[in-house]
Homo-oligomer: A and B are copies of this chain.
Amino acid sequence: MSAPKFVYVFGGPRTEGDASMKNLLGGKGANLAEMCSLGIPVPPGFTLTTEVCTAFYQQGGKFPEGLTHQIEDGLRHIEAIMGVHFGDPQNPLLVSVRSGARASMPGMMDTVLNLGLNDITVEGLITSGGDKRFAYDSYRRFVQMYGDVVMEVRAQKKTDTDPFELIMDGLKEEKHVHADLDLTWEDLKELVKRFKGLVKERTGQDFPNDPKEQLIGAISAVFRSWMNDRAIAYRRMNGIPDEWGTAVNVQAMVYGNMGTDCATGVGFSRDAATGENRKNGEFLINAQGEDVVAGIRTPQQITKADSLAWAKAQGVSEADRSAKFPSMEERMPEAFGQLMAIYDRLEKHYRDMQDLEFTIQRGKLWMLQTRNGKRTGFAASRIAVDMVEEGLIDEKTAILRVEPDQINQLLRPVFDSAAKAKAMGAGDHLATGLPAGPGAGTGKIVFHASDAEEQVNAGKGPVILCRIETSPEDIRGMHVADGILTARGGMTSHAAVVARQMGKVCVAGCGAVDIDYEKGTMKVGGRILKEGDWISLDGFLGQVIAGRIPTRPSEVLQVLFEGKAPGTDSVYSYYHKLMTWADKYRTLGIRTNADQPDQAATARAFGAEGIGLCRTEHMFFGGDRIQAVREMILADTLVERERALAKLLPMQRDDFAGIFRAMDGFPVTIRTLDPPLHEFLPHKEEEIRDLAKTMGVPFERLADKVELLKEANPMLGHRGCRLGIAYPEITAMQARAIFEAAVIVKKEGIKVIPEIMIPLVGHVNELKAQKTLVMATAEKVFTEMGLRVDYLLGTMIELPRAALTADEIAKEAEFFSFGTNDLTQTCMGLSRDDSGRFLPLYVEQKILPADPFQTLDTAGVGQLITIACEKGRKSRPDIKLGICGEHGGDPASIAFCHKAGLKYVSCSPPRVPIARLAAARAALEK
């Protein structure tokens, strides 16, 4: 039996993969193959599939059988095209070894370049046309990289300097030179020797000379890097499964560092921060690719326009700029022209914004990578809408291009323009950097990612993380920060890329900022700011402003709620178009959870089509109400209790009337009293004493009542319909308030659609008992007031027993609304209030795939929902099914609800737009 196909070649006359094979070849590998097929210049190579990675881990770090042979075939493919041979002393083939997963994970895994060099082939490199300095510089880079990645010779602590860099610094000191470029080829040769010595010293092993051994080592190391801490953390944050694995690409080296006619760069076909349709990117003359991303040298801009803007941000004069940092457009106009044409070609081919990597070797342009570019929510919305208007994609595709949560960015606060103008006027505008992440960020300065984490976790946020530049080690800190400011690096620097992806506000490459980590200070705009000082970042414009600038609702909200006129190309215009399309394609209804008229109005502006959950108890807390509620609880007799309830009746009625008016024509689901009564009483002795005084009751009586109502497990206690059954007069009062309000509002000419929902039903008899009461009250009110109102009566499904006996319950219920919060708590036996002690550990240790209170546990809780839907429909085919737990605003959970055939989801007002988009995507992804 022959081994499965592990290796796919690309380039020259033979390309085995294409863009559709991402799962097998990874994004990079699939796209390299695709580019080859399009005739775009790509160095030839081959891809080891993700299945090899899986096998590698299953076999405890060993290669599957037959792989080595296939690798050799791959090498022969490259050799044939390039006309050089791996390990050839005269004209050696050198290769790069790069990771490439299904989803892009920039900078998270390892890479080895210049592989194939040893003391013999380095001479061959010179013989075949490279100069000595280039050859030995390549060699020392290779040994350094291989030593780090494969042989794990690294700084022992994160704060230590890289040991190879230390050796290099030492040699520079010996030679009394400052720059790397000042080292001669002999110096570099010496460095290679010293580097190998370090490797031997640290590992006890000789640095491998055999190119094939080097290759096997590098491939293994790249596979191993799939499971490094950074990569795991990144996947967790981005919901990428560990099981996917990475592919590995082995590709002929091309050099951007063979001289000044060489360069390397990255670029985007549109603006990844704002979505504007303008090609952009950065490059470095005479450099290797990693130099651009690593942020070690200051990159130059590809277009002249960007170059001018960059110079302004960095405070570089035009003379300096054109001399030292000219754009590619100016410096290499021919390659620039080719590159622009490839940008166009690839964007049209992929019908999406492209993120490119290229190298120019002695004037010849080589493409090393293309992929769909990551982008902010702003950019995602704008690009999707623009591309529809350009005829590149259709509406459905546009919807699938925007992640629901990205809509959040469009709704985030912006700076109050008056306050900002005042600060700018007062001289608080310290500097302008690159607008790498749009939005308004304000917070206290921290200089280290770990400090950011610590302060935010301790509730001492918000913070702005200020760094000279960022590295992959900083991602947790970036995640918790409200904004990121870097002094160095361009629009494709680590900080800029990660911030965009996280949707963080970011000002990058702000050269005017001078950070001193040791002192914990930052000089900028003539001031010295220290850790803890407030600072504000305008990520739309790249401005750095001292102090804390107050914010206002986003432009979208200003248009929706304040009547602001939306401009063309405004954030609102993209929001509005996307939402219109989403509504066109979604089949799920979107309702909101609201219990005040103003919330209801907000939700309608966001597009809610009704209220899925109106919690009546929230109404109990305002003003005089809590007083009446407490009187009710303290009542010892039915008469006393009814007297207190009579006080609550008009208040509840007014609330309901207000909500019905706000929801004219849309259904309003009102849940009867749910929480245990002790939630309405104080629990600390002093508070009880105060309240007793206020209420004019003896302290002991109140204290006794509090004690009596105490519960061991209130979540499973006397609450929900259990209250309404023990105290039918409470349900009767609430039903009366609802029906009286409904009749009053209907008489005003408003369309009222009340849906009364009984909570925490576990047995159909509970529902029957409450239903009888509600229906009798309705009839009484309709007779008294001389007008009938149609209404539905249903129940929450929030206990496993309810789901399992949904066939019985559906005989009495006209609708089910899944209360997924409580259903998760009971199905999993997990108290939301207490699980903080172990749930993070569970997610960390992969015992659970995600926090089940954020994303619905489909295997368990979802199974109950499916069972309940099936059984419910069996008893009542037209039963209305919805969800009102907090999962109603979670895109993954919404996708589940769509599949389960629910009629609607209900979420908090600000999640409504996200839910609309998620529902449309669920319908389209079907």
Contact = CB atoms under 8 A, between A and B. Distances in A.
A822 B825 CA distance: 13
Interface in A838-855: 838, 841-842, 845-848
A804 B765 contact: no
Contacts of A762: 828-830, 860
A682 B715 CA distance: 23
A801 B822 contact: no
A834 B801 contact: no
A863 B804 contact: yes
Contact of A769 (B798, B847, B859, B861): B847
A918 to B, nearest CB: 25
Contacts of A837: 717-718, 726
A829 B826 contact: yes
Given A711-B834, A834-B713, A861-B801, A763 B848 contact: yes
A831 B763 contact: no
Contacts of A715: 712-713, 715-716, 829, 831
A829 B716 contact: yes
A805 interface: yes
A718 B762 CA distance: 25
A635 interface: no
Contacts of A827: 799-801, 804, 826
B863 A726 contact: no
A760 B842 CA distance: 14
Interface in A787-820: 798-801, 804-805, 808
A414 B27 CA distance: 82
A578 interface: no
B830 A716 contact: yes
Contacts of A825: 713, 716
- Residue among A711, A762, A833, A834 facing the most chain B CB atoms (10 A cut-off): A834
Interface string A759-770: 010110110010
A859 B762 CA distance: 11
Number of copies: 2
B838 A722 contact: yes
A482 interface: no
A857 interface: yes
A372 B799 CA distance: 44
Interface string A719-731: 0001001100000
Contacts of A716: 713, 715-716, 825, 829-831, 834-835
Contacts of A712: 714-715, 831, 833-834
A153 interface: no
A864 interface: yes
A711 B831 contact: yes
B847 A763 contact: yes
Nearest to A822: B829
Chain B CB count within 10 A is highest, among A798, A801, A857, for A801
Contacts of A828: 762, 799-801
A847 B765 contact: yes
Contacts of A725: 838, 841-842, 845, 847
A763 B716 CA distance: 21
Interface in A40-83: none
Interface string A681-718: 00000000000000000000000000000011111111
Nearest to A800: B800
Given A800-B827, A826-B827, A860-B805, A765 B713 contact: no
Contacts of A842: 725
A846 B835 CA distance: 35
Interface in A250-279: none
A619 to B, nearest CB: 24
A722 B841 CA distance: 10
Nearest to A836: B718
B717 A860 contact: no
Interface string A200-242: 0000000000000000000000000000000000000000000
Contacts of A717: 831, 834-835, 837
Contacts of A859: 804-805, 808
A51 to B, nearest CB: 24
A715 B829 CA distance: 8
A715 B825 CA distance: 11
> Which one of A712, A716, A831 has the highest number of Cβ atoms from chain B below 10 Å of its Cβ?
A716
A744 to B, nearest CB: 34
Contacts of A805: 859-860, 863
Contacts of A857: 801
Residue among A716, A769, A829 with the highest chain B CB neighbour number at 10 A: A829
Contact of A800 (B765, B846, B860): B860
B804 A848 contact: no
Contacts of A831: 711-717
8 contacts: A715-B716, A717-B834, A763-B848, A769-B845, A769-B847, A804-B863, A805-B863, A826-B829
Given A760-B829, A800-B829, A801-B860, 12 more contacts: A711-B831, A711-B833, A713-B714, A713-B833, A715-B831, A717-B831, A725-B838, A726-B838, A799-B828, A801-B857, A801-B861, A826-B829
Question: Closest 6 CB pairs between A and B?
Answer: A716-B831, A801-B860, A713-B831, A712-B833, A800-B800, A717-B834
Interface of A: 711-718, 722, 725-726, 760, 762-763, 765-766, 769, 798-801, 804-805, 808, 822, 825-831, 833-835, 837-838, 841-842, 845-848, 857, 859-861, 863-864
